[in-house]
Amino acid sequence: MADDDRTDLRRGVACEAAAVVALTAGVVAASVAWNLPGLFVSWSAAGWPVDHVVLVLGVSHLFMMVFGARRGAQLKREHDARRAAETEAAHRAQHDQLTGLPSRTAFSAALEDALAAAGDGPTPVVALLDLDRFGDVNATLGYQTGNALLQVVAERLRSAVPAGAALARLGGDEFGVLLTGVDADQAGLLAEGLLACVCRPVELDDLELDVEAAMGVSAGTAHDAQEVLRRADVAFSAARSGRSGIARWSPGIDTFDADRLRLHGELRRACRTGELRVHYQPQVELRSGRVVAVEALLRWEHPRRGLLLPGAFIDLAEQTGLVRELTDVVLRQALADSTRWRAAGLSLRVAVNLSARSLTDPDLPSRVAVLLAEAGRSPRDLELELTETAAMEDPVRAGEVLGRLRALGVGLAVDDFGTGHASLAYLARLPVHTLKIDRSFVLTMHDQTGSRTIVRSIIDLAHGLGLRVVAEGVETADAWLDLVAHGCDDAQGFWMSPAVPAEDLTRVVADLEQRLGVTASPDRAGAPAH
């Protein structure tokens, strides 16, 4: 129990005890002043059933004491159970369930505390470690083997980190170590020792796996946790690209120039000032020609650079942790636009893309539920898209988040299918409703036999798993006809419509359905009759 709770409880008990004492003293004073026992005797002699009343009151009081004690014990058990559940929930939020290590949230908090405590002393050092080819382990040997490997690595790091250091699993196969009170040279030596400890063969059942990893170490004076983490990430990228195993941050390897730093600040501001816009590309049902859904695509109306596509800023958002805010902005705006279309007689499902980080965010399902409630929309009106690669980065956490989203009733789709490395066994376990064929196959399927075979195979596979199929990149009438012949469900692409602003969508849908020969419906202009 928290100290504030205990204080409130003690104050309440003390007040009630004081009231009992005061009331008892009042009864005693009244008894002396008016001789209450004598009055009761005289009333009893006069034939009043005072003795029976006293007996009943005494017995009922005993009953109340017994049942009150039982109810008090029950309330205590309920309180203890609730506190235990709250403690467990808090622990789960702060710790990784697979390895038992602190989570990214706890690591960030520890870094903030260490920076505050350091004052003018040495800046705390962060070392980021990531396993090489971990996705291949999951894809070829299964995620159970991948989980076992992560547990071994976590235990090796736990035994090797020095006293006073903080160790965390930041997501996927990424681990973080927080070192305080050391200079750059000492941090480098410690990091080398940690990397050597991890990079030893691991025996799992009958398998012996060679383990390789890369590590990036922050350096220099910094007073902001995000800057320390960013420097460690820059160093890690240098270690990975240079295949050097370990790298330390320095200005010479930092491509995060002043312009990029300014863009980061502008992007953070844009999340709050309304510069971010969502455009929508229609998804058309091939059988009927009816527009059944739209994909939400983020745009940034930069005050100096004009309209920016995601490629200009999404990587920056991923590197700096802004991707969570961007996801919330897109979800909130897409659901609001969907509500306005519905009021105008246009009911469409909205698809929103998720990043790899979003798939390991345990708070995502609850935030989606809140945003749906705020917009007054059903979970069935929303579909969230993920890539194979993102799902494979951390299959356990991704599976937990996706399972909770599926339980919420939100649709789930695998985007760019065919370009990742997910095994069919893993794909079958994903709680998804839709496969989206990557546009690279659709663009070339009319001219290349291989692409046409891949598209047809994906459609057959998806239908065999009971999934809907959406083809991306439909840019010609021939592609449309080929997809119809192969039995594809839905399609999107420039041949139907590019992504358009929300205010133009109603007109675009009506024009598109008219072009595709859809019969008008009484409740929706341009919609097919049913």
pLDDT at 5 over 90: no
Question: Which pLDDT does position 173 carry in this prediction?
Answer: 86
Residue 265 has pLDDT above 60, yes or no: yes
Contact yes or no for 462/435 (Cβ under 8 A) = yes
Q: How many CB atoms lie within 10 A of CB 296?
A: 24
Structure tokens at 204: 């799992």
Q: Which of 54-58, 345-349, 525-529 has the highest mean pLDDT?
A: 345-349
- Report which secondary-structure segment, H or E, holds 66: helix 50-94
Among 15, 6, 8, smallest CA distance to 83 is for 6
Give the integer Cα–Cα distance in Å for 30 and 22.
Answer: 12
**Residue 405 contacts residue 372 (beta carbons within 8 Å):** no
| Contact indicator for 226, 321 with CB cutoff of 8 Å | yes
C-alpha distances in Å from residue 277, one per residue of 131, 297, 326, 338, 339: 37, 8, 11, 14, 16
**pLDDT at residue 417 in the model:** 81
Query: Can you tell me the mean pLDDT for 496-514?
Result: 94
25 DSSP 8-state letter: H
Confidence category of residue 522, pLDDT binned at 50, 70, 90: very low
Measured between alpha carbons, how far is 275 from 261 in angstroms, rounded to an integer?
18
CATH number for the domain whose boundaries are 275-515:
3.20.20.450
Residue 101's SS3 state is coil
Packing angle, helices 184-198 and 143-160, rounded to 10:
140
**Rounded CA separation 446/458 (Å):** 16
Beta bridge partners of 308: 300
Tell me the C-alpha distance between 34 and 27, whole Å. 10
Contact by Cβ (8 Å): 381, 336? no
Mean pLDDT for all residues in the chain: 84
What's the average model confidence in pLDDT over 110-123? Answer: 88
Give the pairing of strands 434-437 and 213-217: unpaired
**Model confidence over 280-323: pLDDT tens digits?**
999 999 999 999 999 999 999 998 888 899 888 888 787 667 78
Percent share of the chain, pLDDT over 70: 88
- Helix, strand, or coil (residue 410): coil
| pLDDT for res 40 | 67
CA 413, distance to chain mean position in Å, is: 16
**Lowest-pLDDT range, 48-57, 155-164, 269-278, 296-305?**
48-57
Alpha-carbon distance 432 to 313, whole Å? Answer: 28
Whether 376 has a pLDDT exceeding 50, the answer reads: yes
Architecture field, domain 104-251: 2-Layer Sandwich (3.30)
The pLDDT assigned to 280 comes to: 97
pLDDT exceeds cutoff 70 at 208: yes
How do residues 462-488 score in pLDDT, each as one tens digit?
Answer: 999 899 999 999 999 999 999 999 999
- Range in 167-181, 483-497, 515-529 with the lowest mean pLDDT: 515-529
Strands 349-353 and 382-387: parallel
Answer whether 276's CB lies under 8 Å from 337's CB. no
The pLDDT of residue 511 is 94
Domains in the chain: boundaries: 3-83, 104-251, 275-515
Strands 500-501 and 276-285: antiparallel
Say whether 275-515 and 104-251 share the same fold. Answer: no
- Distance between CA 302 and CA 312 in Å, rounded? 11
Q: Is 45 exposed, middle or buried (0-12, 13-18, 19+ CB in 10 A)?
A: exposed
pLDDT at 508 over 90: yes
